[in-house]
């Protein structure tokens, strides 16, 4: 349990500290293959522009309490904040229960961006798509003199925000036209020979990503998975960003995950998937969301509801383990702040985070 802080002293300290870490200007943001445009620099040069508040990047595994803490921070930070979701499945419209999108009550408690705005039937929503939307939201939030609170989430989204997007070589239209005529199963077999790691990660029916992986290998002679690994080995920071990371003991987090899956089922996940199917189904990307594939199998008669529920728990815990692995890399970002939520209230946790952020001013 965290010690209770004196409210008046904390308020004076955090306001003084945070007033000192406004980002008046930032240099070119780091990236490997694509350099961010820097609209922040343009805005900062305008004489009447409000101070550019630092981006608060709130990270944690699934079920760690990011939503509650982000809302508390939005309402507690000096100057206020607005939440920007960095989750590859929370972007989809109509998938609110299974992706744990903020509830209507939570949406009413603080402004949110990039939540439920993409058609789940769409074939493609890329990291670049998210990054462009996120940078626009961040710019708008800063224009109101508030802190963007980016809540994640998805590893590639966070890396893109900090470093830019790995995009590899340009497209080869002639090769693409040729590969478009090839069955996805055959493409998957071909990819398994030249890039087995990518073949294991890409769904056998995901024709677009199979084509891209083969295209990259044809252009460079190097597997896409190898190039992406080179991009992801070391996480670098972004000068206008402060990083908070929620760290739970494994057993405690797994208990939270199991309880949350039960709540999702009780709240109508099965009915949500039925409704999505009635409205035209899910695209290949949306189908991969944890929980939706399992409920689809249940509706097809391949699982009982109890079996589907158990599979969702297993897959969610496995996903949480993967997230904890890459979150350890983010702890190496200069100035990253590790928070331990177990045994404390969200109010106290937010106060602790703000004090630590103020100490970095």
Same domain, 222 and 244: no
As a whole number, mean pLDDT of residues 238-254 equals 95
Range scoring the smallest mean pLDDT among 51-55, 246-250, 268-272, 353-357: 51-55
How much is the mean pLDDT over the chain?
85
Range scoring the smallest mean pLDDT among 29-33, 45-49, 94-98, 147-151: 29-33
Residue 272 in any domain: the answer is: no
Is the separation of the CB atoms in 164 and 33 below 8 Å?
yes
Question: Number of structural domains, the chain?
Answer: 2
Same domain, 190 and 94: no
Same domain, 181 and 158: no
| 233 has a pLDDT exceeding 70 | no
As a whole number, mean pLDDT of residues 260-278 equals 97
Same domain, 208 and 354: no
Domain boundary residue, one of 232, 248, 270: 232
Same domain, 95 and 155: yes
Backbone angles phi, psi at 109, to 5 degrees: -85, -20
Domain boundary residue, one of 232, 248, 276: 232
Position with higher pLDDT, 235 vs 262: 262
As a whole number, mean pLDDT of residues 105-117 equals 97
As a whole number, mean pLDDT of residues 244-250 equals 97
Same domain, 194 and 213: yes
Report the alpha-carbon distance of residue 271 to residue 216 in Å, rounded: 41
Q: What is the pLDDT of residue 167?
A: 64
Long-range contacts for 184-187 (Cβ within 8 Å, ≥24 apart)? Answer: 184/210, 187/211, 187/214
Residue 148 in any domain: the answer is: yes
Same domain, 156 and 186: no
Instruction: Using alpha carbons, select from 176, 114, 154 the residue that is nearest to residue 288.
Output: 154
pLDDT tens digit string along 183-196?
A: 989 999 999 999 99
Same domain, 209 and 351: no
Domain boundary residue, one of 189, 217, 232: 232
The pair of three-digit structure tokens given for residue 167, joined into one six-digit string: 């995009």
Same domain, 338 and 253: yes
Is the separation of the CB atoms in 188 and 211 below 8 Å?
no
Residue 315 in any domain: the answer is: no
Residue 311 in any domain: the answer is: no
SS3 246: strand
As a whole number, mean pLDDT of residues 311-315 equals 97
Residue 142 in any domain: the answer is: yes
The pair of three-digit structure tokens given for residue 297, joined into one six-digit string: 């199998």
Residue 156 in any domain: the answer is: yes
Residues 6+ apart with CB under 8 A from 62: 100, 257, 290, 316, 319, 320, 323
Position with higher pLDDT, 98 vs 156: 98
Same domain, 67 and 212: no
Residue 181 in any domain: the answer is: yes
SS3 287: helix
By CB neighbour count within 10 A (0-12 exposed, 13-18 middle, 19+ buried), where does 177 fall? exposed
Same domain, 126 and 182: no
pLDDT tens digit string along 21-33?
A: 444 333 323 222 2
Same domain, 183 and 243: no
Structural domain of 227: 173-232
Q: What is the pLDDT of residue 49?
A: 62
């Amino acid at each position: 349990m965290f010690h209770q802080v004196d409210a008046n002293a904390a308020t004076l300290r955090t306001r003084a500290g945070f007033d000192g870490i406004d980002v008046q200007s930032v240099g070119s943001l780091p990236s490997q293959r694509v350099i961010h445009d820097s609209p922040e620099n343009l805005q900062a040069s305008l004489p009447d522009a409000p101070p550019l508040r630092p981006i608060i990047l709130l990270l944690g595994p699934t079920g760690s309490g990011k939503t509650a803490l982000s809302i508390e921070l939005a309402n507690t930070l000096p100057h206020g904040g607005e939440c920007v979701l960095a989750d590859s499945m929370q972007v989809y419209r109509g998938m609110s229960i299974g992706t744990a999108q903020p509830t209507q009550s939570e949406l009413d408690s603080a402004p949110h961006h990039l939540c439920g705005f993409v058609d789940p039937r769409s074939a493609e929503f890329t990291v670049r798509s998210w990054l462009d939307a996120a940078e626009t939201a961040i710019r708008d939030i800063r224009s109101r003199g508030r802190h963007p609170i980016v809540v994640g989430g998805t590893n590639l989204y966070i890396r893109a925000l900090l470093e830019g997007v790995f995009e590899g070589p340009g497209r080869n239209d002639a090769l693409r036209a040729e590969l478009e005529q090839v069955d996805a199963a055959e493409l998957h077999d071909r990819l398994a020979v030249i890039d087995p790691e990518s073949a294991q990660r890409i769904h056998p029916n995901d024709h677009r990503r199979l084509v891209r992986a083969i295209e990259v290998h044809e252009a460079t002679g190097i597997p896409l998975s190898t190039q992406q690994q080179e991009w992801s080995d070391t996480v670098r920071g972004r000068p206008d960003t402060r990083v908070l990371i929620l760290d739970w003991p494994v057993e405690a987090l797994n208990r939270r995950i199991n309880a949350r899956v039960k709540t999702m089922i009780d709240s109508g996940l099965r009915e949500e998937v039925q409704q999505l199917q009635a409205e035209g189904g899910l695209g290949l990307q949306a189908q991969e969301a944890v929980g939706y594939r399992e409920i689809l199998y249940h509706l097809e008669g391949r699982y009982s509801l109890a079996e589907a529920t158990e599979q969702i728990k297993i897959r969610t815990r496995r996903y949480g383990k993967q997230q904890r692995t890459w979150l350890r890399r983010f702890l190496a970002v200069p100035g990253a702040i590790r928070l331990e939520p177990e045994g404390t209230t969200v109010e106290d946790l937010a106060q602790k985070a703000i004090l630590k952020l103020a100490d970095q001013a």
